Amino acid sequence: MPELPEVETVARTLYPHIRDCVISDMRVLRPASLHELSLKPESAIGLRIASTRRRGKLLVIGLEGGAPGAPDSLVIHLRMTGRLFTREANEALGKHTRCVFNLALPNGSERLLFFDDTRAFGKILLATPTILQRWSFWRELGPEPLEIGVDTFAPRLRGARAIKSALLDQKVVAGIGNIYADEALFMAGLAPTREAGSLSDQEAERLLAAIQHILKLSISQCGSSIRDYRDADGNAGAFQNTFQAYGRGGLPCKRCGALLSKTRITGRATVFCPNCQK
DNA sequence: AGCGGGACCTGTGGGC
DNA sequence: TGCCCACAGGTCCCGC
C-alpha cells in the first residue's frame, strides 16, 4: 500500500490527534507485528509523543520523557495494508487490529491509537538510536528523493538491472514503490527495462525531475488509494485519478494513444507505453 | 550481482 | 450462489 506520499500524509494527519499525548498502555495483539529488534511494549508506558515524521516508507513517531535506555522512537512500516487512526477510549478492537495504544491527552481525557493491518505484513518497532543502527534496513536506507540533486541520484543508478528494479530498491532511494516507479518512468519517457547503468546524465536528470514532480503532486492530493489506504482521518487519497501508467495495462496511452503494455519486472506488475518510453 | 520463485497474510474480483 | 484462481501498495530469503 503506502509509498512515500501515503506515509507522508499519514504522518501529517496523525500528528494533531496524538501530539503531546502520554502513552499509558500498549497492547500487541499479534506478536509477529512487533519487530524482532523492538523493545518490550511496557517500555513505552509514560512516554510523551513529541513528533511524527517520515523516512522513506517508514513512519517515525518521536517519544520523549524516558529514562536512559528507554525508546525515543516508535517506527512503523505499514507495508501493504497497515492503517493508523485514533478512536474513543471505549472503541472495540477490530478483526485486524494488531496493536493498540492507550493515550492520555493533555486535558486529561483518554483516546486509543489503533494499528490495524489486514495482511499483517506491517511492523512496529520501539527503538533507541542504537537499535535503529542495528537494523540493516534502516542503516542502508537510501537518501530521500525529494532532498537530493542529480549529482547524488545519477551515481546511484548502476549496473545491468532494470531501472525499475533500481527504483524499487530502497537502498538506491527511499520511498518509491510500484505505483510511483511506473508513474515516474512514464513521465520521464524511459522504458522500465532499461539498464539502470545505461542512463545518460540527461536521462537521469529527467528521471529525478519526474520522481520529484510525481511525489509532490501525489502528496498534494494526499496520496493514492487503490483499495486499503486511508489517512489518519479515514480519508482516501485522490492521486489514483491521475495515474498515467499504473493499473492501466491494455488501455490507451494518455499521451500518444498507443495501447499500454503490461509485463512483470522483478516480480512486480509493470505498465508502460512502448511508444513513449524508450 | 541479480533474478525468479516462494514465503509471509488476508481479501477481493473475475471467470465459469 | 459458489468455487477456484490470480492478484494486491512490500520486503526477505533461498537457490541458481
- Per-residue pLDDT, A74: 98
Q: Looking at A57, A98, A164, A248, which residue is catalytic?
A: A57
- Per-residue pLDDT, A1: 63
DSSP lists the bridge partners of residue A101 as A26, A113
List the A269 CA – C16 C1' distance (angstroms): 23
Query: Residue A109 CB: number of other CB atoms within 10 A?
Result: 10
Footprint of strand C on the protein (CB under 7 A): A 1-3, 6, 56-57, 77, 79-80, 119, 121, 136-137, 168, 170, 177-179, 223-229, 237, 267-269
Q: What are φ and ψ of residue A103, in 5° steps?
A: -120, 135
Q: Copy the grid coordinates of residue A183.
A: 508513474
Smallest CA–C1' separation from A161: which nucleotide? B2
- Per-residue pLDDT, A227: 87
> Among this protein's residues, is A57 annotated catalytic?
yes
Query: What are the pLDDT tens digits along chain A (278 aa)?
Result: 699 999 999 999 999 999 999 999 999 999 999 999 999 999 999 999 999 999 999 999 999 999 999 999 999 999 999 999 999 999 999 999 999 999 999 999 999 999 999 999 999 999 999 999 999 999 999 999 999 999 999 999 999 999 999 999 999 999 999 999 999 999 999 999 999 999 999 999 999 999 999 999 999 999 999 888 999 999 999 999 999 999 999 999 999 999 999 999 999 999 999 999 99
Q: Is the CB of A227 under 7 A from strand B?
A: yes
Long-range contacts of A25-31, Cβ-Cβ distance < 8 Å, separation of 24 or more: A25/A101, A25/A102, A26/A99, A26/A100, A26/A101, A26/A102, A27/A99, A27/A100, A27/A101, A28/A98, A28/A99, A28/A124, A29/A93, A29/A97, A29/A98, A29/A99, A29/A100, A30/A98, A30/A99, A30/A120
Query: Residue A106 CB: number of other CB atoms within 10 A?
Result: 10
